[in-house]
Amino acid sequence: MWYRTLSRLWQEEKGATTLEWALLLAGIGLPAVVIMTAALNLLVEYYRLMTFVNSLPFP
Protein backbone atom coordinates (compact mmCIF):
# COMPACT_ATOMS: atom_id res chain seq x y z
CA MET A 1 0.00 0.00 0.00
CA TRP A 2 2.57 2.61 1.02
CA TYR A 3 4.91 1.48 -1.78
CA ARG A 4 2.30 2.24 -4.43
CA THR A 5 1.61 5.70 -2.95
CA LEU A 6 5.29 6.51 -2.67
CA SER A 7 6.03 5.45 -6.25
CA ARG A 8 3.08 7.50 -7.54
CA LEU A 9 4.36 10.59 -5.73
CA TRP A 10 7.86 9.98 -7.07
CA GLN A 11 6.59 9.88 -10.68
CA GLU A 12 4.40 12.96 -10.45
CA GLU A 13 6.12 16.04 -11.82
CA LYS A 14 3.48 18.77 -11.55
CA GLY A 15 5.28 21.03 -9.10
CA ALA A 16 8.84 20.11 -10.07
CA THR A 17 9.56 23.40 -11.84
CA THR A 18 8.20 25.45 -8.97
CA LEU A 19 10.22 23.45 -6.48
CA GLU A 20 13.37 23.87 -8.56
CA TRP A 21 12.89 27.64 -8.73
CA ALA A 22 12.18 27.83 -5.00
CA LEU A 23 15.34 25.87 -4.20
CA LEU A 24 17.37 28.01 -6.58
CA LEU A 25 16.09 31.25 -5.04
CA ALA A 26 16.67 29.93 -1.54
CA GLY A 27 20.19 28.83 -2.47
CA ILE A 28 21.03 32.28 -3.79
CA GLY A 29 18.86 34.45 -1.55
CA LEU A 30 19.80 33.13 1.87
CA PRO A 31 23.58 33.47 1.43
CA ALA A 32 23.04 36.92 -0.08
CA VAL A 33 21.10 38.02 3.00
CA VAL A 34 23.80 36.67 5.30
CA ILE A 35 26.57 38.39 3.32
CA MET A 36 24.69 41.71 3.19
CA THR A 37 23.98 41.59 6.92
CA ALA A 38 27.63 40.88 7.70
CA ALA A 39 28.78 43.71 5.40
CA LEU A 40 26.34 46.13 6.99
CA ASN A 41 27.52 45.21 10.49
CA LEU A 42 31.13 45.68 9.38
CA LEU A 43 30.37 49.14 7.99
CA VAL A 44 28.52 50.14 11.16
CA GLU A 45 31.46 49.08 13.33
CA TYR A 46 33.93 50.91 11.06
CA TYR A 47 31.84 54.09 11.26
CA ARG A 48 31.62 53.75 15.04
CA LEU A 49 35.42 53.36 15.27
CA MET A 50 36.07 56.35 13.01
CA THR A 51 33.72 58.63 14.94
CA PHE A 52 35.41 57.56 18.18
CA VAL A 53 38.88 58.24 16.77
CA ASN A 54 37.81 61.64 15.45
CA SER A 55 36.40 62.63 18.83
CA LEU A 56 39.68 62.02 20.69
CA PRO A 57 41.29 65.23 21.94
CA PHE A 58 44.60 65.10 20.08
CA PRO A 59 46.50 68.37 19.90
pLDDT in tens, 29-53: 999 999 999 999 999 999 999 999 9
Report if residue 34 sits inside a domain: yes
How much of the chain exceeds pLDDT 70, in percent?
A: 97
Q: CA 10, 12, 15, 20: dihedral to nearest 10 degrees? A: 50
20 vs 43 pLDDT, higher one: 43
pTM of the model: 0.62
Report if residue 24 sits inside a domain: no
Q: How far apart are CA 3 and CA 26, in angstroms?
A: 31
Report if residue 12 sits inside a domain: no
> Between vectors from CA 53 to CA 47 and to CA 55, what angle results, nearest 5°?
105
Report if residue 48 sits inside a domain: yes
Q: Give the count of domains, the chain.
A: 1
Report if residue 10 sits inside a domain: no
Report if residue 21 sits inside a domain: no
Residue 6 has pLDDT above 80, yes or no: no
Report if residue 5 sits inside a domain: no
Residue 15 has pLDDT above 80, yes or no: no
Report if residue 13 sits inside a domain: no
